[in-house]
Amino acid sequence: MVYLLAGLMSFILFYLYDYNSVNWKNPVLHRFFMLGTVILSGTTMMLLWNYRFHIPLDTPVTYIWLAVSVVFLGLLIYTLFFAIPFNETYLRESKERKTFRGSFYGWCRHPGVLWFGGFYFSLYGLITKPIVLYVAIFYTSLNLLYVAYQDRWIFPKTFTDYDEYQDHPPFLFPKSINFMRK
């Protein structure tokens, strides 16, 4: 239960961070994104720690799931923190901000959701306990609701060209891959 409550708290902090960024502009609330990230990461580490003895170390499938989860986590971290201009995205309020269309963001508008869900569901492949499946479903569902909220209400107010950006890359599932698009 603590995993679900902590995940919910993390996403509430993400929602408040975004709402604040376009409406209230309170500098204290600007830290909520990082706080939500710390809570979600800490909860995930706690889940892994608490169920570490349920990971079967005597089967090659375990190492495949481990590799898959590491790849998805790496893609998630890269997409959210390195593929986009970090300072402009997370640290500064930017006037006349334009959408970033390079890397995975030329593929679909919210590629992090794919990596996020892939990571949590691969953890379930690694630790086949029902709580891990519940966490994967719950966190991924919250993330889908979060990016729908961003796509519909936050980003059109944040980026001057978001309406046009919504016309090209699909919301979530890519039609074609063009990583080099600027």
> Which residues are CB-neighbours of 157 under 8 A, at least 6 positions away?
22
Burial label for 128, CB within 10 Å (0-12, 13-18, 19+), is: middle
Taking the C-alpha atoms of residue 34 and residue 77, their distance in angstroms, rounded to an integer, is: 13
How many Cβ atoms sit within 10 Å of the Cβ of residue 6? 19
- pLDDT for residue 174: 86
Which tokens sit at 63? 């190492």
Please check whether residue 142 lies inside any domain of the structure.
yes
Residue-number span of the structural domain to which 117 is assigned: 2-167
Residues in the chain: 182
Q: Which residue has the tokens 């090659």?
A: 60
Tokens of 114: 């794919």
Name the pTM for this structure.
Answer: 0.91
Between 173 and 127, residue with greater pLDDT: 127
Mean pLDDT of 19-46: 96
The reply to whether 128 falls in a domain is yes
Q: Which residue has the tokens 């970033």?
A: 100
Contact 103, 179 (CB under 8 A): yes
Q: Please tell me the distance from the alpha carbon of residue 1 to that of residue 158, in angstroms, as a whole number.
A: 35
Domain assignment present for residue 18? The answer is yes
pLDDT at 176 over 90: no
Q: How confident is the model at residue 182 (pLDDT cuts 50, 70, 90)?
A: very low
Looking at the structure of the chain, the number of domains it has is: 1
| Residue range 17-31: mean pLDDT, rounded | 94
Is residue 175 situated within a structural domain?
A: no
Residue 138 tokens, joined: 């719950």
Q: What is the pLDDT of residue 12?
A: 98
Q: Is residue 113 predicted with pLDDT exceeding 70?
A: yes
What's the whole-number mean pLDDT along residues 49-53?
Answer: 97
Q: Which residues contact 35 (CB under 8 A, 6 or more apart)?
A: 13
Work out the average pLDDT over 118-137.
98
Report the amino acid identity of residue 111.
P
Per the domain annotation, does 157 fall within a domain? yes
> Is residue 39 domain-resident?
yes
d(CA 91, CA 35): 14
* H helical segments located in 98-181: 111-126, 130-149, 155-158, 162-167
Residue 179 belongs to some domain of the structure:
no
Residues 6+ away with beta carbon under 8 Å from 13: 32, 33, 35, 36, 39
At residue 178, does pLDDT exceed 60?
no
- Note the pLDDT of residue 27: 93
What 3-state DSSP class applies to 69?
helix
**Residue 99 corresponds to which tokens in the numbers above?**
């959408």
CA distances, 104 to each of 48, 97, 160 (Å): 28, 19, 20
In a domain, 64, yes or no: yes
